[in-house]
Structure 1
Amino acid sequence: MSSNGDLQFSVLAEVFERMEEITSRNALTDMLIDLFKRAPPEILDEIVYLMQGKLYPDFVGVELGVGEKLLLRAISLASGLSQERVEELYRKLGDIGRAAEEAEKSRKQVVLFREPLTVHRVYTTLERVAKASGEGAQDSKVKLLASLFNDAEPLEARYLARIVMGRLRLGVADYTVLDALAVAFGGTKEAREVVERAYNVSSDLGLVARTVAAEGLEGLKSIRITVGRPIRPMLAERLSSPKEILDKMGGKVAAEYKFDGERMQVHRSGDRVMVFSRRLENITSHYPDVVEIARTGLRSSDAIVEGEGVAFDADTGEFLPFQELMHRRRKYGVEKAMEEYPVSLYLFDVIYADGVDYTTRPYMERRKKLEEIVEVGERMNIAPMMMTSDPDEMERFMMEAIEKGCEGLVVKDPSSVYRAGAREWSWIKLKREYRSEMTDTVDLVIVGAFHGRGKRAGVYGAYLLAAYDQGSDTFKTVCKVGTGFTDEDLRNFHDMLQQYVIDHRHPRVDSKMDADVWFVPQVVIEVLAAEITLSPIHTAAWGAIRPGAGLALRFPRYTGKLRTDKGPEDATTVTELVEMYRSQIKKIEETPSEGS
C-alpha cells in the first residue's frame, strides 16, 4: 500500500520475490508496469535506483562502501544473534539475503515497537550510509543499517541485504524498465521512443521514471543534454570490406581512424572538466592529464566532445595497445601510472557546444564545429578523416591507419545525426582482420560455467558464452570456451563470478545447453576463434542462416582481455555475427579452388 507519497517496503520486497521466479521478459515487464502505476511519482526514482541495486546513476560515482563483514555486523546487532551465528548462516546458505532473512526469523531481541519500513526511509537511510565518512564512519554505517534491519520483516531483510551488497539478481535490464515506463505512463510501447530519448540524453533512469510519472510524456521533453551528465554513446555496426560498406551507405562516405584506446566523453564547463567512459562511469580521477589537455585544448568553455584516449610510449611516441591503457584504471598510484602510460586525446565528435545541442546536426556540420573548437597540439588531436567513394582508396587509408597503430576505420554517413544510445548503419567499423576467416576478436558475455576436473578441480573449467540479441533483448549462446586461461585467470574468474551466481538460467539467456552453474549476464571477455560455423546446439542467429541451426565459434580461446569497459549489452551482437559469417562464406566462395 502507498500513502503520503511513499510506499511500504514490504510491497517492493514482495514484487522482487515474484520477479525472481519469472523467466519471461514479457511477464517481467507486466509486473513492472503494475508496480510503476501503484507507486507514488515522488519516489519512483528511488524505486528504480533500488531495483538496480544503487542510489544514483553510475556516473555520479557514489557507492555505499559496505562490505560483507560490516553488513553481517549490522544484521547481528539488529537480530541479537552473535556475529559468529550470522556468519555461519551466511556460509550455510551462500546468500547474504537469505542469511539476513533467517536471522530475522531467529531474532533473540524482542522489539516493543516497530516502525514499518517504507521505500523512502530505506533509500534516505542508505544515502546516509553512503555519505558517512571520517573517524567512526564504520560504526555509523553499522548503526544506520541495523536501524533498518531492526524494523524489517524477514522478506524485507532478504532484499535489503541484497540491495546493500548489489546482488538483487532480478533480471531487470534498463530496456525492460523503459518498456514498462512507456506503457505505464504513455499507454503503449509506441511511447518508448520518447522515453528512450530522454534516457539516452540523461543516462539517468531514475530521473526519467520520476519525470514521466509526474509530468507525462510531455514532461520528458524538458530533459535535455547537460554538461556534467553523460549521454549514452552512439555505436557502430560492422562490415568486412570497403565495398560492402559503400554498397550499404551509397555515395561518398567519411572514413576516420579507429584508435585502439579508451572511448572518452569529455565535458567542460569553465575550468571544470569531467571524463566519462563508454559505460558512463566517471573516470576523471584516473586521467588528470586528459583533464588538463581538455582544459587547455578546447576553445569552447561549455562543451561535450567525444574521442579516444590512446596510451603512447613517451620515448618513441608509438601507440600502445588498449591493454596497456588499463594500467591507468587505478585508485592509487595515479601519478606514477600517468608517467608510465601517458595519454593523447583524439577527438571525433562534438555533442554539445556553446549552448547548442549538436546531436541533431549532420556529421559534416559536427565535424566542422569540432575543428573550430579544438586547439590541435602535441596531445590534443582530431581523428584523421577522409571523404571517399572509392573502395581502393578506403583500403589504403585503412592500411595507413593500421601502420600507425590503429585498429582500422570507422566509416560514417556524412548526413547522419548523432543517435545517442543507438547502434546504426550510419556508423560502420572496418578492421583489417575482417578480411580473413575469424581472425577478428569478438566480445562475449559469460552466462554459465562448467565445473573443472583434474588440475582445474575447484574452479570452473570452461565457460558458456553468449552474444547480445538486440531484437529480443536477450543473450544467445555461441560457444563453450576453456582454452586461453592461465591458472591465475581461472582462480580470479571463479572468485569474481561468485557475486553473479544464480540457481537457474537467467530469463534473458537463451540456451539449449545446460551449464553446471548459471550467472547473471554481466562479465564480458574477448575471444578469438578459427571460424564461425553452423550449430545444432547454440542459439545465436537461430534459423537465420539455415532452419534448425544457429551460429557457433569453432576452436574459441580467451585472449586474456577482460572487457571491463563494456557492459553486457555492449557485447558483440547476433547481427554482427551473422554479418561476419556471411562475409566469411563470400570469401570462401570467391577463393578459386585448387587446380581451377
Structure 2
Amino acid sequence: MKLSTLTDIYQKLDATTKRLEMIDILVELFELTPLEEMRAVIYLTSGKICADYIGLELGFADKMVIKAIAKSIGKAESEVNKLFKKKGDLGEVAEKLIGQTGQQQLGAFFTPNEKSETGELTVDDVWDILNKIALIEGKGANQKKTNLLLGLYSKATPIEAKYITRIVLSQLRLGIKDLTIIEALSRKYGDGKESRKIIEHAYNVTSDIGTIGDILASKGMEAIKKIEISVGRPIRMMAAQRMPTAEEIIEKLGGSCALEFKYDGERVQAHINGDGIKLYSRNLNEISEMYPDVTAALKRSLKSSQVIVEGEITAWDPDNERLKSFQILMSRKRKYGIEDAMEKIPVRVFLFDILYKDGESLLNKSYPERRVVLESLIKDDPVIVLASREVVSSPDEFVEYFEKAIESGCEGVMAKDIRKETQYQAGSRGFLWIKHKFDYSSAFNDSYDFVVVGGFYGKGRRKGTLGTILMAAYNAEEERFETVCKLGTGFTDEDLIKVTKDLMSISVEKKPKDVISKLDADVWVVPEKVYEIQGADLSISPVHTCALDEIKKDTGLAIRFPRFIRFRDDKKPELATTTSEVVDAFKKQRLRSG
C-alpha cells in the first residue's frame, strides 16, 4: 500500500470533527488496506507503533526532528527553528520546507552511502523504519534514529513528510480513538451492534487494537469470538460510577451490597505466571520495575502459579499500621534509586478482585464468586492482604462502615453489587461498582477528575505562569472533551511552576479537534493531563460546553468555585469524569435542592 494512499485518508480525517464522518472515512481506509498491512495501518492511524502496554517508544525530541529536516533540505537548523516558532507544528514545517526544496533535490544532500533508493514510499517502508528506530538504544542512538528519519524524508512528498513528522513526535492528532476504530471495524467486518460488542470485548481483554484489526482482516469474526485472556497481556480495567448518598446506592444495588475500603493508592493489575510477574497500572503501563517488593511479595503470598488479580498499591507506615497519602506513594514512581525508595516508602497491596486462575477466565463469574476464589488464594503476608469488606443492608450500616473507612485513612468506600449477574465488565464504567467519597469542607459529595485542555496566562504574582487552567469532562459517546470550568484556586506556587512546565511541553498552536470550547484559551494543549478538583456545586453555564443543549438550549454545565486537589498522572484522559456523570450529578443536585 502506498504511503500516499494513507496520507490522503489522513487529510480527509484532518478536515472533519464529526465522528460519523470519521467512521465512514476509516471504513474507506480499511477497504483500501491489504490484509497483511491492517495491523500497521491501524497502529499508525492511532499514532503509535504497538499496543500501549508494550511501552515501545520512538524517542524523538523536537531538536532531533529539526536537525533531520534541516539536513534533508540543506539549510541551517536556525531557519527550521524560526519557522517552527511561527507555526508551532513541525509537521507543517516539514511539509512547507520540503515542498519548497523539491523532493527530487533531496538526494543531493546525502553522501553516497546515505542515499535511499528511488521510488514511492509504502506503508511497509515507514512501518519497518519506525520499528527499527524504536529498538535503537545506547551510544549514538539519537544520531542513528535521525539518519533513519532522513532516509524517509529523502523519499517523502511534502504531505507524507508532514504526517511522518507528526507520527515520530507522537503528535498525529487525527482525533481518532480506539472506540472509533472499533466502530469502523464492526461496520467493515460485522453486521451490527452485536458484532461491535464482540469486537469491543476482544479489545478489552487484549488491550491491543492493532491485533484485533489484524485478526478481523485475516480470519474474520469467528476468530475474534475465540480470543481469550492471556496472562501477561493486560485486561482493560473495570471502572465505577458514582452516587451521592447511601440511600441511593443501596437502592440501586438491590437493597444490599458489599462495601470495600476505597484506598488512596495506585490501582494495579498483577499477572502471575510461575516466576514471571508483571504489574500494570490503570493506564496499562507496566510498572513492575518500580515495585520489586510487590512482585516478590506476590510470589510468596499466592497459592496459585497462574493468576490475574487486581488491587491497590498504597504507601504504608508499618510502625503505626497506617496508610500514607497518594502523593507519598507517587514518589516511588521512578526509574532510578528504587532500592532507596523501597526502604523509605514501604507499601502494602490490598487485593480486591481476581480475573483469571489456572487456565480459567473468571470474568463471567459473579463478584461474590470471584471474592471467594480470591480469599482462598492468599497466604498470610505483611505486604499482600485482602481489601477490607463488609456486606450492608441499610443506610445506617453503610454510613457506619463508611466512617470506619475514613478513620482508617481511606478516601471512602466502593459499593459492589452482590447479585448473581455481576460479572467483571472489562473496560466498562457501570453501576455494578459505585464509589462514594466525601470532602467535609465541600458541598460536593465527591471530587472529579477533569482533563486539562488549555490555559490562561497569570497576572500579578502569577505573571510568567499559566495562572488559570481550562478543564473539561470527557464525552465518552462522542469521544471528545467538553469544557466544564476555569481552575485557578488550590495551586501552590510550586504547583503552578509544574503546571506551566508540563502544559507548555504539550502546547499546540490550534485548539485540538476533539476539544469543544466556546472560550479562546491563551494556550491550547493536547488533552492528556488529568487533575482532581472539587467545587461548590454544579450550575447551568452559557460559557461552557459540557452537556451542551442537554439541560437547556445553548447552555452547558459548569463547576462553581472549583479548586485543585491533586495531579492524577495515574489516569488517562479517557478515564476522566464523563459528561454523563456530570449530568447525573446535576440532576441529583436539583432533586436534593427541590
TM-score in same-fold range (> 0.5):
yes
Q: Once the two structures are superposed, what CA deviation does each residue of 1:373-432 show, in whole Å capped at 9, x if it has no partner?
A: 121311111111112212211211111111111111111111200010011111111223
Report the more deviating stretch, 472-481 or 79-88: 79-88
Tell me, which stretches of 5 or more residues in structure 2 are unaligned?
Answer: 109-114
Q: Does 1:578 align with 2:578?
A: no
Measured after TM superposition, the shift of residue 582 of structure 1 is 4.0
Match in the other structure for 1:123? 127
What CA RMSD, in Å, does the superposition of the two structures yield over aligned residues?
2.2
Tell me how far apart the structure 2 counterparts of residues 190 and 458 of structure 1 sit (CA, whole Å).
53
Tell me how far apart the structure 2 counterparts of residues 257 and 339 of structure 1 sit (CA, whole Å).
26
Match in the other structure for 1:568? 573
| TM-score, normalised with respect to structure 1 | 0.92
**What pairs with 1:341-420 in structure 2 (closer than 5 Å)?**
341-414=345-418, 415=420, 416-420=422-426
Q: Once the two structures are superposed, what CA deviation does each residue of 1:74-125 show, in whole Å capped at 9, x if it has no partner?
A: 3333333333433333334322212222332344644595232111111111
Tell me how far apart the structure 1 counterparts of residues 143 and 512 of structure 2 sit (CA, whole Å).
37
Tell me, which stretches of 5 or more residues in structure 1 are unaligned?
Answer: 1-6, 590-596
Give yes or no for contact 1:447–1:519 (8 Å, CA) kept in 2.
Answer: yes
SS at match of 2:277: strand
Give yes or no for contact 2:107–2:154 (8 Å, CA) kept in 1.
Answer: no
Q: Which of 17, 21, 43 is equivalent to 1:27?
A: 21
Q: Does 1:42 align with 2:21?
A: no
Measured after TM superposition, the shift of residue 237 of structure 1 is 0.5
Give yes or no for contact 1:227–1:304 (8 Å, CA) kept in 2.
Answer: yes
Match in the other structure for 1:63? 57
Tell me how far apart the structure 2 counterparts of residues 569 and 169 of structure 1 sit (CA, whole Å).
15
Tell me how far apart the structure 2 counterparts of residues 450 and 183 of structure 1 sit (CA, whole Å).
42
SS at match of 1:490: helix
Residues 1:495 and 1:10: Cα distance change in structure 2 (over 3 Å) = farther
Tell me how far apart the structure 2 counterparts of residues 275 and 422 of structure 1 sit (CA, whole Å).
20
Report the more deviating stretch, 70-79 or 59-68: 70-79
Give yes or no for contact 2:262–2:412 (8 Å, CA) kept in 1.
Answer: yes
Equivalent AA in structure 2 for residue 522 of structure 1 = E
Measured after TM superposition, the shift of residue 547 of structure 1 is 5.5
Match in the other structure for 1:513? 519
Match in the other structure for 2:466? 460
Tell me how far apart the structure 2 counterparts of residues 222 and 499 of structure 1 sit (CA, whole Å).
43
Match in the other structure for 1:594? none
Tell me how far apart the structure 1 counterparts of residues 25 and 504 of structure 2 sit (CA, whole Å).
28
Tell me how far apart the structure 1 counterparts of residues 280 and 248 of structure 2 sit (CA, whole Å).
33
Residue identity over aligned pairs, in percent, reads 41
- Residues paired across the two proteins, number: 582
Residues 1:455 and 1:105: Cα distance change in structure 2 (over 3 Å) = farther
Measured after TM superposition, the shift of residue 53 of structure 1 is 2.4
**What pairs with 1:151-550 in structure 2 (closer than 5 Å)?**
151-414=155-418, 415=420, 416-433=422-439, 437-438=443-444, 440-498=446-504, 500-545=506-551, 549-550=555-556
Match in the other structure for 1:554? 560
SS at match of 1:533: strand
Match in the other structure for 2:99? 105
Q: Which of 55, 67, 71 is equivalent to 1:73?
A: 67
Tell me how far apart the structure 2 counterparts of residues 494 and 190 of structure 1 sit (CA, whole Å).
45
Q: Once the two structures are superposed, what CA deviation does each residue of 1:301-332 show, in whole Å capped at 9, x if it has no partner?
A: 11100010011124323101111111011111
Residues 1:399 and 1:192: Cα distance change in structure 2 (over 3 Å) = same
Measured after TM superposition, the shift of residue 502 of structure 1 is 4.1
| TM-score, normalised with respect to structure 2 | 0.93
Tell me how far apart the structure 2 counterparts of residues 81 and 240 of structure 1 sit (CA, whole Å).
61
Match in the other structure for 2:85? 91
Measured after TM superposition, the shift of residue 11 of structure 1 is 1.7
Measured after TM superposition, the shift of residue 479 of structure 1 is 0.9
Report the more deviating stretch, 330-339 or 534-543: 534-543
Q: Once the two structures are superposed, what CA deviation does each residue of 1:219-270 show, in whole Å capped at 9, x if it has no partner?
A: 2123211101001001111111221111112133111111111000000111
Tell me how far apart the structure 1 counterparts of residues 557 and 521 of structure 2 sit (CA, whole Å).
18
Give yes or no for contact 2:44–2:167 (8 Å, CA) kept in 1.
Answer: yes
Give yes or no for contact 1:254–1:412 (8 Å, CA) kept in 2.
Answer: yes
Residues 1:435 and 1:526: Cα distance change in structure 2 (over 3 Å) = closer
Equivalent AA in structure 1 for residue 5 of structure 2 = V
Tell me how far apart the structure 2 counterparts of residues 458 and 21 of structure 1 sit (CA, whole Å).
35
Measured after TM superposition, the shift of residue 439 of structure 1 is 5.5
Tell me how far apart the structure 2 counterparts of residues 540 and 89 of structure 1 sit (CA, whole Å).
36
Tell me how far apart the structure 2 counterparts of residues 90 and 31 of structure 1 sit (CA, whole Å).
30
Residues 1:357 and 1:434: Cα distance change in structure 2 (over 3 Å) = farther
Measured after TM superposition, the shift of residue 185 of structure 1 is 1.5
Tell me how far apart the structure 2 counterparts of residues 282 and 110 of structure 1 sit (CA, whole Å).
41
Residues 1:170 and 1:434: Cα distance change in structure 2 (over 3 Å) = farther
Tell me how far apart the structure 2 counterparts of residues 130 and 50 of structure 1 sit (CA, whole Å).
14
Measured after TM superposition, the shift of residue 454 of structure 1 is 4.2
Measured after TM superposition, the shift of residue 535 of structure 1 is 2.2
Tell me how far apart the structure 2 counterparts of residues 497 and 214 of structure 1 sit (CA, whole Å).
42
